[in-house]
Amino acid sequence: MHDLINLLQRRHLVWHGTQQKAAYASQTSQYPELDEKLDGGFPESGVVDIASPSGIGELRLLLPFLLRQKRMLVYINPPGQVCAEQLHHYGIDITQVLVIYPDKTNDALWAAEQCMKSGACATVMLWQNTLEVHQIKRLQVAAETGQSLLFLHRTNDKSTISLPVTLGLTLSANDTGLDIQVRKRKGGWPLPVFKVNMCQQWPALTLHRAANVLSFPTAKAV
């Protein structure tokens, strides 16, 4: 019965008087724990602000979602070189991937805005630490116009300005995946930290010691 009620809640067919739902249509993230907390998953359009240290699994969290997209995927100012072979290995159609390295912040924001407004892009990934309220508002309008989703990647969430994003997440690593805090949710309440287990999707990345590995002694320096 509990599983049935959870399923109906995720499909927005059951409502509790004490529960405030997010005010946006959602699409599955492919992680059950995250979908349950977000009332269905990521927004269908809008801006998702992800504050996270680089390289802890933030992109792997998004990969199952990205694999379901049918339109273009755009990377703007990623922190390293995007590997086409790796994307192809994971199942992403690299003919639908665009990578842009603008020299200036305003150029990066303009590129993100134009990509989303065009309607040709399902998802835009933008790495940009500092933004202002009016810039986020422009990106929100562009996302709604083109029915696109922008993932804004930042390496900190220490800003005192509350950005008008659709969804704000803070990520940190744990030994089975990620700890996630929902800082902001359009039409919904912030949520305390919860765990997303990534062992099923990425079993090789967990920190549990393998049973068949032997530790060799190391010589001490004299």
Residue 59 has phi, psi (to 5 degrees) of -80, -35
Model confidence at 92, pLDDT cuts 50, 70, 90, reads: very high
How far is residue 126's CA from residue 107's CA, in Å, rounded to a whole number? 12
Q: How far apart are CA 178 and CA 170, in angstroms?
A: 10
- What is the separation, in whole angstroms, between the first and last Cα of the chain? 66
Percent of the chain with pLDDT over 90: 70
pLDDT > 50? residue 194: yes
**pTM reported for the whole predicted model:** 0.82
Domains of the chain in sequence order: 27-201 (3.40.50.300)
Beta-strand pair 97-100/149-154 = unpaired
pLDDT of residue 5: 59
Structure tokens at 185: 């949710």
Contact assessment for residue 76 and residue 113, using Cβ atoms and an 8 Å cutoff: no
Amino acid (one-letter) located at 25: A
Question: By C-alpha distance, which of 151, 89, 164, 163 is closest to 121?
Answer: 151
Contact 116, 143 (CB under 8 A): yes
The 10s digit of each residue's pLDDT in 50-72 is 999 999 999 999 999 999 999 99
- Mean pLDDT to the nearest integer, 2-10: 59
Give the largest CA-CA distance in the chain: 70
User: Per-residue confidence at 204, pLDDT binned at 50, 70, 90?
Assistant: confident
C-alpha distance from residue 36 to each of 28, 33, 111, 168 (Å): 10, 5, 33, 16
Which pLDDT belongs to residue 131? 92
Cα–Cα distance measured from residue 185 to residue 167, given in angstroms and rounded to the nearest whole number? 5
Q: What is the pLDDT of residues 112-137, one digit of tens each?
A: 999 999 999 999 999 999 999 999 99
